[in-house]
Amino acid sequence: MPPQPPPHWHQLDSQAVLTHCHSHHDGLSAEEAASRLARYGANALPQPQRKNLLQRFVLQFHNLLIYVLLAAAAITAVLGDWVDTSVIVAVTVINAVIGALQEGRAESALAAIRNMLAPGAIVLRGGERHAVEADRLVPGDIVLLQSGDKVPADLRLLDTRSLRIDEAALTGESVPVDKHSAPLPADTELAERSNMAYAGTLVSFGQAHAVVVATGSDTELGRINAMLGSVPAQQTPLSRELARFARQLTAVIVAVALATITLGIVWRGYPWQAMFMAGVGLAVAAIPEGLPAIVTITLAIGVERMARQRAIMRKLPAVETLGSVTVICSDKTGTLTRNEMTASHVQLRDGLLQVSGSGYAPEGGLFRHGQPQQYGSHAGLDALLQAAALCNDARLQAVAADWHLLGDPTEGALLTLALKAQLPLDELQQRLPRRDAIPFESEHRFMATLHHDHNGQRLILLKGAPEVVLARVSHELAAGGVQAANLPWWQQQAARLAGDGGRVLALASRQQPHSGCELTFDDVAGGLTLLGLVALLDPPRDEAKQAVAMCRAAGIRVKMITGDHAATAAAIGRQLGIGDGRALNGHEIDALDDAALAAAVQQVDVFARASPEHKLRLIAALKRHGEVVAMTGDGVNDAPALKQADVGVAMGGKGTEAAKEAAEMVISDDNFATLVSAVREGRTVYDNLKKAILFILPTNVGQALIIIAAILFGVALPISPVQILWVNMVSAVTLALAFAFEPTERGVMRRPPRPPGAQLIDRLFLWRLVFVGLLMVVLPFALYLQLLSQGAGHPLASTMAVNSMVAIEIAYLFNSRRRHASAWRRDTLLGNPVAFGSVLLLIVLQLAFSYLPWLQALFGTAAPSGHHWLLAAASGVLAFVLIEVEKALLRPR
C-alpha cells in the first residue's frame, strides 16, 4: 500500500506518521524498500537538461567572432565571390562542429565528476543500519541523521538529540534552527516546522531518527526546483581574463581592418572590392577563433586528470588557484596518518599493559610483564574495558577473514582492545543497557553514555582527551579500590604516551542512584572516577612523507592543524618532516592577538588541540602574509574555514556533506598525497593554458601583419584570405589542441609557486608574440618573393608561403612546449605523443591542400615539387633555431 500523504506531516505525532507511511521504528524490510523504489523512483531531482549535439552546434554560431565571419561571407556572396563565401561558411561550420564536440566532452567530464560526489545516507532496514546512496531512499525509510549530514529527503523527525539544522538552502535563513519531534499545528509555516527536516538542508549539530515522507521531485526542494548539488558552470579568473582579452582584440582588429581598407583605397587607390576582401582577410587572420575552445578543453582535461587521481574539483576556478598555493594546512588524522587506529598500551594506576596484534581483528592480547591479561582477572582492567566497549558506537564485522569497522576508528580500536581481552560484549550490553548519550564532538572532545543496571543504579561512562577527562575527575581506580586522584601523575603518563605519536584517551565512570533517563553535561561536569588511559597508534601514511618533501621542493609550506594532543602532533610531525618539533596549542593561539599570531605562523608548523575557530584565525594570519592557502577539513564546523581558504579541500571519505558543500575540492581517498598531486596538476593546467595561448596568438599576429605589409608595400597578397582561414583552422584543430594534452613538466614541483596575481600576459609574452609574429611574416614573405623572382607563378609561390607558415608553426609548437628551457632535448621533442599525431595530421592536410585538384581550385594553390618542400622545411628549421636563440638570450638566470 502506498502511503497516502496526509495534509500535513508536521501535524501528526510520530506513531501516526509511521502508520501513514506503513513503516515502523526498525525501518522497512529490504524487499519493501526495493518495491517502493520501483514504485516511487529514485530519490533524485531531474538532472538539468543537457544540451544535445545539435543544440551545442547551433550555439557555437552565437559568438561575436563568428558573426564577423558570417557577415564577411554574406558580403562576399553579394559580390559574387562564391569561392570565398563557401570557404568562410565551411570554416565556421567546421569550427562549430569541433566546438560542439569539445564542449560535449568537457561537459561529460564535469557531469561524471558531479556523480562522484553523490551523497549517502544511513538507514535502518530490517532493524540493521545500512549505508546507502541517498538516491536509493524511499518514503517510509528510517534515516539516521548526525551533525554534518546533508538531509537526503524530506523527513519527519521521530526523535532528536540537540538537533540543529541549517536551512539556508531552502529558506535563506543562515542561522541554524532547533528541531524536535513534537507535533505542530496544521497551519505552521514551512520555515517554522521544527519537527521536519527538508532535503538539501544541513545538520549543523546533534543527531536524530526520522522517517522519509517525500523523495525526489516530491520534496520541498524539488517543488521549488532549486537544483540540489548542481555545480553551476563557472568561469575561471583566467578564462574571464581571456574572454576580455579576446573582446578587446576583436575591437582592435576590426579597427585596424577598417583603417587598412581606408588607407588602401584612399592612399594606394586600390579598388574597394579588393580592399574589402583584404579587410575580411585581416579580420579573419587576426581573430584567434580556436582560443575559447582550447581553454575549455584544457581545463576540462585537467579536471578529468585530477579526478582520475581522486581529486574532484567542485569549483572550476580553483584549478588555477591550486597551482599558486603557497601553504597547505592539513588535518592530521586520516589525511597525514592512515586513520587505522590500534591500541598499543593501557595505563592503569598500578601498571602499564602492552597490547599485541594489528588492525581491527580481535586477535592478539594484553600483556603485563609478558604475562597475558584477560577480562575478569583484574577489577581495574575490567572497569576500563567495560567503559571502552560500552561508551562506544563502533561495530566490527567479520567478512571472510577480514574485520571491517563500521564507525569511528578511535572507537573501533577501543572495541577491538576489549574483544582482545575476551570481554563478553553481548552479555554486558544486556546487563547495562544504554539509556542516553552525549555524542563525541570535536569541540568538547569527549563522549559519554548513560547505562542502567538492574539494581537501580545509573552508570555514566566517559571517554575523551586526557585534559578534558582529568578536569572532571576527582577519584581514581587503583588496586585497592577508589581513591583520591593523583592528577599530576596521570598528566605525566598521558604526556609520555603521547610523546611516541600515539593518540591518548582517558576513560572514567561515575555511579549514581537511579534518577531519570537523561544524560546532561552537568552529569559529567565533575566527580568522576578515572579508570585509566589507552594509547592508540595511528601510523603516518607512507606516501605522506614523500608528499611533504615534494611540497618543500615546490616552495609550499605544510602546516598540520589537528585536534590531537600537542605531543602526539609534534611526534607525527617529526616523522613526516613537518615543523621543528614545536607545536602551538589551541589555548596558546587564544592568548595571541592577531599580530602575534601572524608572527607565530611564520615560525610554527604544527598546531594542536585546534578547533575550527582556530583554523579561521590561522587562515587569516597566513593570508596577511600574502599566502595562498589550501586548507583541509571534514567536520561541519570546518565549513567556514574551508570557505575562507583560497582552496577549501574536503575529505571525501570521512568528510561530512557540510564540509564538501563548502569546499572547492574533494579528495576522495582523504590522502594528503592526493592533495599534493592535485596541486601539481593545477600547475600543469596553468602552464598548458599559457603555452597554448602563447602558441596561438603569434600565428594570428603574423598572418595579420602579412596582409598589412602587402597592402602598405603595394604588393600582391602572398597569402589570400581563404588560405589564411585554412591555416587558422587546420592549426587550431591540430597543433593548438596538443597543448591540452601536454604532460606535466618534470620540474614543475621544483619551482616556487606562481606569485598570486601574476599576469598571464606579461612582458616576455608580448615580446615573444611580436618576435614570432615577425618571423611568420618575414620568412614566408621572403620565400614568396624568391619564388616569384625565380619565375614561379603566384599560385605556386603563395602555396609555398602557406606551407612555410605551417612549417614555422610546427617548429614553434616544439619551441613553445617549454617557455624558458631549451626545446632541443629528447623529452621536449618527443614527450607529447599528441603533438606528433597533430603534426602528422597537419602534414597530410597540407599535402591535400597543395595537390588535390578540388582544393587547388578552392584555395588557388598549385602543386609544389620536392625542392619547394625543402625550402618550406628550411624556414621551419630556421625559425626553430632563431626562437631557441632568443629563448637562450632572454632566459632568466
What residues line the site for ligand ATP (CB under 6 A)? Answer: 331-334, 408, 410-411, 440, 442, 445-447, 463-465, 503, 505, 562-565
Closest to ligand ATP by CB, 195 vs 611, is: 611
Closest to ligand ATP by CB, 410 vs 684, is: 410
Write phi, then psi, for 213 (nearest 5 degrees): -110, -20
Q: How far is the CB of 608 from ligand ATP (least distance, A)?
A: 9
Nearest to 198 by CA among 227, 168, 175: 168
3-state secondary structure of 776: helix
Distance of CA 169 to the CA centre of its chain: 21
* Count of CA atoms in the C-beta half-sphere (13 A) of 794: 8
CA–CA separation, 772 and 775 (whole Å) = 5
CA–CA separation, 690 and 697 (whole Å) = 11
Closest to ligand ATP by CB, 158 vs 505, is: 505
Q: How far is the CB of 607 from ligand ATP (least distance, A)?
A: 9
Closest to ligand ATP by CB, 199 vs 506, is: 506
Q: Quick one: cell of 521?
A: 553535561
Distances (CA, A) of 676 to 214, 673, 683, 749: 41, 5, 11, 10
User: Can you give 342-411 as a three-state secondary structure string?
Assistant: EEEEEEECCEEEEECCCCCCCCCCEEECCEEECCCCCHHHHHHHHHHHHCCCCEEEEECCEEEEECCHHH
b/e sequence 439-476, b meaning 16+ C-beta within 10 Å: bbbeeebbbbbbbbeeeeebbbbbbbbbbbbbebbebb
Closest to ligand ATP by CB, 350 vs 588, is: 588
Q: How far is the CB of 665 from ligand ATP (least distance, A)?
A: 17
- Residue with grid cell 524536535, as numbered in its chain: 180
Helix (H) or strand (E) holding 106: helix 82-116
Q: Which residues, 6 or more positions from 95, have their beta carbon under 8 angstroms from its beta carbon? A: 60, 66, 289, 290, 729, 732
- Residue with grid cell 540543529, as numbered in its chain: 164
212 close to 219: Cβ distance less than 8 angstroms: no
Q: How far is the CB of 331 from ligand ATP (least distance, A)?
A: 4
Q: Quick one: cell of 711?
A: 597592402
Phi-psi region of 870 (alpha: psi -120 to 50; beta: other; left: phi over 0): alpha
- Residue with grid cell 605519536, as numbered in its chain: 501
Which residue in the list 135, 141, 149, 331 is annotated as catalytic? 331
Residue 463 corresponds to which amino acid? K
Closest to ligand ATP by CB, 57 vs 490, is: 490
Q: How far is the CB of 303 from ligand ATP (least distance, A)?
A: 27
Q: How far is the CB of 354 from ligand ATP (least distance, A)?
A: 21
Q: How far is the CB of 463 from ligand ATP (least distance, A)?
A: 5
Torsion sign across C-alpha atoms 372, 375, 377, 382:
positive
Q: How far is the CB of 228 from ligand ATP (least distance, A)?
A: 28
Distance of CA 263 to the CA centre of its chain: 54
Closest to ligand ATP by CB, 524 vs 883, is: 524
Neighbours of 131 (CB within 10 A): 9
Q: How far is the CB of 503 from ligand ATP (least distance, A)?
A: 5
Q: How far is the CB of 4 from ligand ATP (least distance, A)?
A: 42
Instruction: Please provide the distance, in angstroms rounded to a whole number, between the alpha carbons at the two ends of the chain.
Output: 78
Q: Quick one: cell of 193?
A: 516546522
Number of residue whose CB is nearest ligand ATP: 563
Closest to ligand ATP by CB, 638 vs 742, is: 638
Neighbours of 28 (CB within 10 A): 25
Residue 844 corresponds to which amino acid? V
How wide is the angle at C-alpha 825 spanned by C-alphas 820 and 830, nearest 5°? Answer: 110
Q: How far is the CB of 610 from ligand ATP (least distance, A)?
A: 7
Q: How far is the CB of 442 from ligand ATP (least distance, A)?
A: 3
331 in catalytic set: yes
Closest to ligand ATP by CB, 218 vs 331, is: 331
Closest to ligand ATP by CB, 295 vs 505, is: 505
Indicate the angle between helix axes 291-308 and 82-116, nearest 10 degrees: 20
Phi-psi region of 595 (alpha: psi -120 to 50; beta: other; left: phi over 0): alpha
DSSP string, 841-890: HHHHHHHHHHH-HHHHHHHT-----HHHHHHHHHHHHHHHHHHHHHHHHH
User: Can you give 486-523 as a three-state secondary structure string?
Assistant: CHHHHHHHHHHHHHCCCEEEEEEEEEEECCCCCCCHHH
Closest to ligand ATP by CB, 166 vs 411, is: 411
Q: Following CA atoms 34, 38, 39, 42 in sequence, which dihedral angle do they give, to the nearest 10 degrees? A: 100
Closest to ligand ATP by CB, 10 vs 565, is: 565
Closest to ligand ATP by CB, 394 vs 839, is: 394
CA–CA separation, 366 and 241 (whole Å) = 64
CA–CA separation, 545 and 551 (whole Å) = 10
57 close to 100: Cβ distance less than 8 angstroms: yes
Q: How far is the CB of 332 from ligand ATP (least distance, A)?
A: 3
- Please give the positions annotated as active site: 331
